[in-house]
Amino acid sequence: MGALKDVVQNHMMQVVALLAMEPPVSASAQCLHEEQIKVFHAMRPIDPQTYVRGQYEGYRKVDGVAARSRTETYCALRIDIDSWRWEGVPFFLRTGKALATKATEAVVEFRSPPKQLFDTAGCAAPETNRLRFRLGSDAGVAIEVQAKKPGDGMHSEAVSLNVDFSQALGDAPLPYERLLGDALAGEATLFASERAVEGTWAAIDPVLGDVGPVRAYAPGSMGPREAGRLTASFGGWVDPRSP
């Protein structure tokens, strides 16, 4: 199917909706889905110019893969949400096989303050503060902030305040164990609604199919170098943390 349809449309888009939606008026599945649908309604169709496809070297030698396959094993893209809250804030997504690190994360990067005190002190500007959501088997949350290093001068260093959910709260049910239980109970909160699914397909429609070149990348890398241009003006991709 390719990375776009296999991972982005039915998994990563739902994560974007959870991050970008307004608080629901209640915890019911209907109210949650209504806020998610608003995000997809405001989501601008993806511009093919902000979409990069990749295929790891050696993929065509895998059993069952066509010798001239153009199926992408990697894709990176930019999403824009035309709403009062998110206007001008880019969302960058990337996923791929045979990458350097196996991790599932959503990283929120905060804006830099309007005045940098470290610059005026003759020191290097600090890194951007980040909120990092870890999903899957390594579920947890971390906030990365700048702390002044002991001693003279205004020198800072990034420190991480980290919570591992399994250590703090105990082991969670297995993913499909929870979904099957909710399905039997008629609980729809964790399931995508029909309108939300239609919204995700509408957003990715301009880049469906054999759109653009398929860039080669080496196994063990973080994907094709062409993906770097998507985030170059925003400081580059944030390296994920492996479990």
Domains along the sequence of the chain with CATH: 3-221 (3.30.360.10)
pLDDT at residue 117, rounded to an integer: 65
User: Which one of 11, 33, 41, 155 is the catalytic residue?
Assistant: 11
Distances (CA, A) of 38 to 10, 27, 69, 107, 185: 17, 16, 37, 22, 27
Closest CA to 2 of 80, 79, 55: 55
Q: What is the pLDDT of residues 127-152, one digit of tens each?
A: 788 999 998 878 899 998 888 778 77
pLDDT level of residue 230 (50, 70, 90 thresholds)? very high
Residue 124 has pLDDT above 70, yes or no: no
pLDDT at residue 235, rounded to an integer: 87
Higher local confidence (pLDDT), 161 or 114: 161
SS3 at position 194: helix
pLDDT at residue 41, rounded to an integer: 93
Give mean pLDDT, residues 16-20: 94
* First-to-final CA distance of the chain: 27
Residue 217 has pLDDT above 80, yes or no: yes
pLDDT level of residue 211 (50, 70, 90 thresholds)? confident
pLDDT at residue 73, rounded to an integer: 96
Active site residue 11: yes
Q: How many helices (H) and strands (E) does the chain have?
A: 8, 8
Which of the given ranges, 68-72, 143-147, 177-181, 184-188, has the highest pLDDT on average?
68-72
Residue 225 has pLDDT above 90, yes or no: yes
pLDDT at residue 120, rounded to an integer: 56
Q: Which residue reads 């974007």 in tokens? A: 16
Q: What is the dihedral of CA 107, 19, 84, 192, to 10 degrees?
A: 140
Residue 200 has pLDDT above 70, yes or no: yes
SS3 at position 145: strand
Question: 188-206 burial, b for 16+ CB within 10 Å, e for fewer?
Answer: eeeebbeebbebbeebbee
Mean pLDDT of the chain: 89
